Amino acid sequence: MRECLPQDLHIIHGIIEDAAAMYQGFVPHDCLHQPYMPLEELEREMTRMTFFGWEEGGLVGIMGFQPVTDVTLIRHAYVRRAWQRRGIGSRLLNHLKDLCTTERLLVGTWASAFWAINFYQKHGFHLLANKDELLAAYWEVPRRQVESSVVLGISLVPHQ
Ligand SMILES: CC(C)(COP(=O)(O)OP(=O)(O)OC[C@H]1O[C@@H](n2cnc3c(N)ncnc32)[C@H](O)[C@@H]1OP(=O)(O)O)[C@@H](O)C(=O)NCCC(=O)NCCS
């Protein structure tokens, strides 16, 4: 496990594009672009949050950590398809839980990404009913994405 650096941009981009291939056939097609995340957008996102990565002879999974006012967001959680279901996502998530100093840790994902919802629920997260309000307060996402997304959250005991 390590904190990612600006020079990891291309390898992180490769992980996102590989893992986001899972969205085909699940996420509304008008929300899917090629590439899923343009490199420039990822570059911007990397200045806004801290990414952590898991190495197996090179980075194979990443997760972004973004405190926003009174909550912390998990952003851009991706593990290369060939490395999924081996506990890498769980290690990254547990690391972010340990780092979190706000009471609530939130994550937004596609409503149709049952595997991701499964993954977070397994880690104690609950689907939140006021997701539109939360997405408007803490994220910057287009309206169409809001309609097709869910928000899950977990309450943690603040460290300080
Ligand atoms: C979500 C993700 C990061 C989890 O990473 P991971 O390394 O596979 O996670 P772990 O191995 O620690 O946990 C596996 C658990 O996640 C869930 N899960 C992962 N892949 C799954 C799949 N294809 N189908 C159903 N559940 C799945 C299950 O609960 C699974 O537990 P199980 O294997 O005992 O059934 C990874 O699946 C991924 O990159 N998905 C594509 C992108 C995505 O949806 N990201 C979430 C955006 S917020």
Write out pLDDT tens, residues 44-90: 999 999 999 999 999 999 999 999 999 999 999 999 999 999 999 99
- Kindly report the CATH class assigned to 2-155: alpha beta
Whether pTM > 0.95 for this model: the answer is: yes
Cα(59)–Cα(121) distance, integer angstroms: 25
Burial 108-146 (b: 16+ CB within 10 A, else e): bbbebbeebbebbeebebeeeeebeebbeebbeeeeebb
Collapsing DSSP to helix, strand or coil, 141 comes out as coil
Sequence spans of domains, the chain: 2-155
Query: Residues near ligand 1 with C-beta < 6 Å?
Result: 19, 22, 61, 77-79, 84-90, 107, 109, 113, 115-116, 118-119, 122
| pLDDT tens, position by position, 128-139 | 999 999 999 999
Atom of ligand 1 nearest to the CA of 93: 12
